[in-house]
Amino acid sequence: MKPLEPGAFRTVAAEHYGTPKEVWGFRTRPESGGPVRIARRFLRANQSLLGLEGLLGALPTARTVESLGATHVILQQRHRRLRVHRAYVTLHLDRKRRVYLVKNRAIPQALLPETLEARLTAGEAERRARKALGRRGRGAHAFPMERLWFPRRDRLELAYKVRLQHDRPRREWIFYVNARTGGILSRWDNLAKTTGRACVFDPNPVAALGGHRALLTPGGRVRRPPDAAYKEVELHDLDGTGRLDGRRVRTDLTTGRVRNPSHEFCFEAHQPGFEEANAYFHIDRAIRYLEELGYRGRRRVFTAPLRVNVRASRADQSWYSPGTRSLHFGVGAVDDAEDGETIVHEFGHALQDAIVPDFGQSEEAAAMGEGFGDYLAASFFADLKPRRYRTSVMCWDAITFPDYDPPCLRRVDESWTFEEDFVEGGDEHDNGEIWSATLWDVRRALGRRRADRIIVESHFQLDGFTRFDRGARAILDADRNLYGGRHRRALERVFRKRRIGPV
């Protein structure tokens, strides 16, 4: 394979290393052989351009992922047998085995330390992390720790990765503790969460009754949904135990579970078992929809059933836990597992994490995670809702909220733009409405299935620290890989309108 020719590609440089952080705007010639072999040939030919001299032997293959339109080879840098945090090289190949994008976070050879200087033990690192949490650190469960290298500006620090999880209230944190000084290098709240309340209908009583007013008393209290709010559905692929466990979903994290050997789970919302049955139905259907889009067989995203706890907290809080890869719903106010849109929103976090582990560890990425969850819920149920409620998400959950008309937790059709409305240090849910509106514009331009397919596909070339402009570029690449770029102009109009770029 020949090196890339000057002027035939675009790059952006890493802030502290001077090496190209991303290289794009090119397509190599089709190559024979497997994707890993092609990727390594590309790196050997372009190691000078990428600043990888002396590092190719320290980049073992972490995994190879096949999406619908491309293959993604992920190499993880190691130094002295330890993983270097965030130091990966990914190469993205289209279906003709042409490399079209390289993302390079490898630390140049000259910046790698020669010796290990660990002074803290793993136990001491855990104690430092617990101390940083204060009272919240008491009783928190610690996951197995990893010793690794942590990039800090233009140097590497030996560190421990400490993951702590607290059950009540449900929280989860990732700490990187300096193994030399004991200082906290990084701290991140790792739970994707929502404060919403929801309903478990298809998608909710508001949609079934054509509006929200009949569900409120004159004093503004929530009425019990009438029979017309319910829909009888089939539950697919149960495992035959009488529990709500199946090929794609298991509610086995729920305490006080229902069991019926006849597999009849017809309950009203105030009865035990209703949340279990509806969570099972909505998650199973969402995964089935992914399979219809093409993510099945060797390209399937979820390799094991998604585990669910529908009564995880008494608070009005729901979340996806990356540490245990499970969904959790609170029972404060309206039970969250009663809302199909809340269920699908949280499922959106699970989907992102299945493609990009620990997605959302930066402000923009966290906002994109919340925006994608809102978009997925809105897109999934749009055709089942009255037109006036189509761009409102979680209307049952937020039926008493006065902030929107009609009442909802958030909307996906705000007029906000990234340049003017993204707030540094702001709430990820608020910033996420910029991204959800962008994705909704894509859906309006392309139609539901085509937009959903392109948007899901785009995640395979993102990382947990991604940004809005890279998300936009990934959508353009996904369109090119899946549809030959036929929607490029429409997509670029959307991104210009939302002032996301350059892409």
Question: DSSP for 94-121?
Answer: ETTS-EEEEEE-PPPGGGS-SS----S-
Q: What is the pLDDT of residues 37-51, one digit of tens each?
A: 999 999 999 999 999
Output phi, psi for 53, to 5 deg.
-60, 130
For 127, counting Cβ atoms within 10 Å of its Cβ (0-12 exposed, 13-18 middle, 19+ buried), the class is middle
Q: Which residues contact 486 (CB under 8 A, 6 or more apart)?
A: 479
3-state secondary structure at position 297: helix
As a whole-number percent, the residues of the chain with pLDDT over 90 amount to 69
Q: Of the candidates 52, 333, 9, 5, which has an alpha carbon nearest to the alpha carbon of residue 195?
A: 333
Q: What is the rounded CA–CA span in Å between residue 328 and residue 1? A: 49
3-state secondary structure at position 348: helix
pLDDT-derived band at 53 (thresholds 50, 70, 90) equals: very high
The predicted structure's pLDDT at residue 252: 95
Neighbours of 435 (CB within 10 A): 29
Q: Which residue has the tokens 């892409």?
A: 503
Region of 273 on the Ramachandran plot (φ > 0 left; ψ -120 to 50 alpha; else beta) = left
- Average pLDDT along the chain: 91
Is the pLDDT at 453 greater than 70? The verdict is yes
pTM higher than the cut 0.95 = no
As a whole-number percent, the residues of the chain with pLDDT over 70 amount to 97
Region of 341 on the Ramachandran plot (φ > 0 left; ψ -120 to 50 alpha; else beta) = alpha
Domains of the chain: 10-110 (3.10.450), 122-190 (3.10.450.40), 194-497 (1.10.390.10)
Is the pLDDT at 301 greater than 50? The verdict is yes
pLDDT-derived band at 221 (thresholds 50, 70, 90) equals: confident
pLDDT-derived band at 344 (thresholds 50, 70, 90) equals: very high
Work out the average pLDDT over 253-260.
Answer: 91
Q: What is the rounded CA–CA span in Å between residue 313 and residue 168? A: 7
The predicted structure's pLDDT at residue 196: 28
Is the pLDDT at 99 greater than 80? The verdict is yes
pLDDT-derived band at 503 (thresholds 50, 70, 90) equals: low
The predicted structure's pLDDT at residue 44: 97
In this structure, the dihedral spanned by the alpha carbons of residues 401, 407, 413 and 415, taken in order and rounded to 10 degrees, is -50
Q: Which two tokens stand for residue 134?
A: 């204060």
Work out the average pLDDT over 411-432.
Answer: 95
Q: Of the candidates 343, 364, 365, 340, which has an alpha carbon nearest to the alpha carbon of residue 355?
A: 365
Q: In this predicted structure, which of 9-18, 254-263, 402-411 has the lowest mean pLDDT?
A: 402-411
Is the pLDDT at 289 greater than 80? The verdict is yes
Is the pLDDT at 219 greater than 90? The verdict is no
The predicted structure's pLDDT at residue 168: 60
Q: In this predicted structure, which of 100-109, 257-266, 455-464, 479-488 has the lowest mean pLDDT?
A: 257-266
Work out the average pLDDT over 300-307.
Answer: 94
Q: In this predicted structure, which of 325-329, 331-335, 344-348 has the lowest mean pLDDT?
A: 331-335
- Cβ atoms of 488 and 479 closer than 8 Å: yes
pLDDT-derived band at 170 (thresholds 50, 70, 90) equals: low
Q: What is the pLDDT of residues 189-218, one digit of tens each?
A: 776 654 323 235 788 888 888 888 888 778
Work out the average pLDDT over 57-82.
Answer: 95
